[in-house]
Amino acid sequence: MTDHLASGDAAPTSATPTPSGLTHFNAAGKAAMVDVTAKPETNRTATARARIVMQPATLALIQAGTAEKGDVLGVARLAGIMAAKRTADLIPLCHPLPLTQVTVDLTPNPAANAVEIAATVRTAGRTGVEMEALTAASVAALTIYDMCKAIDRAMRIEALRVTHKAGGKSGEFSQS
């Protein structure tokens, strides 16, 4: 049995919430992209955070800008921005969105031997940008790992989460 529709079968036009509230399924229970045609365009913002924990010496190299591969934080910032713009290529049911702003802030935290990452994404559209913010934060962390793995394979990425979203029908959400 395949997921392809037989000739003459009508394709479901939108996903409908399941009893659990999940929206990325059609009436037949198959994965489907949500139809946002009827939703109004609103200004939408989301912030996601993550951290990458490492050895103190690794963080010192990053802060000094003397890592062998170069400006770790600068490259990670650009990688996060680029990733936000490509989210729909990575997450199958995400809508491609015209992003109006992406910021990725990377803050060394010597007390925690970590780099704290905050990615904020904005658009004016019919669907939110939480996935773009999460993608930006995670790819920034992955880039730090990639650039420093030769000296610290024990680094760990943790605490990836949405900390704020605004806009759309569900309104505002915040957590630390």
- pLDDT computed for residue 153 by the predictor: 97
Distances (CA, A) of 56 to 50, 62, 114, 118, 151: 18, 10, 8, 21, 11
- pLDDT computed for residue 6 by the predictor: 38
HSE at residue 173, side-chain half, CA atoms within 13 A, is 16
- First-to-final CA distance of the chain: 45
How far apart (Å, rounded) are the C-alpha atoms in residues 157 and 150?
A: 16
How far apart (Å, rounded) are the C-alpha atoms in residues 146 and 161?
A: 21
Residues 55-65 have pLDDT tens digits of 999 999 999 99
- pLDDT computed for residue 37 by the predictor: 82
Residues 122-150 have pLDDT tens digits of 999 999 999 999 999 999 999 999 999 99
User: Which has the closest alpha carbon to 27: 11, 47, 39?
Assistant: 11
- pLDDT computed for residue 57 by the predictor: 97
Residues 35, 71, 105, 146: which is the catalytic one? 146
Query: Which residues does the chain have with pLDDT short of 50?
Result: 1-14
152 given a catalytic annotation: no
pTM of the shown model: 0.85
- pLDDT computed for residue 77 by the predictor: 98
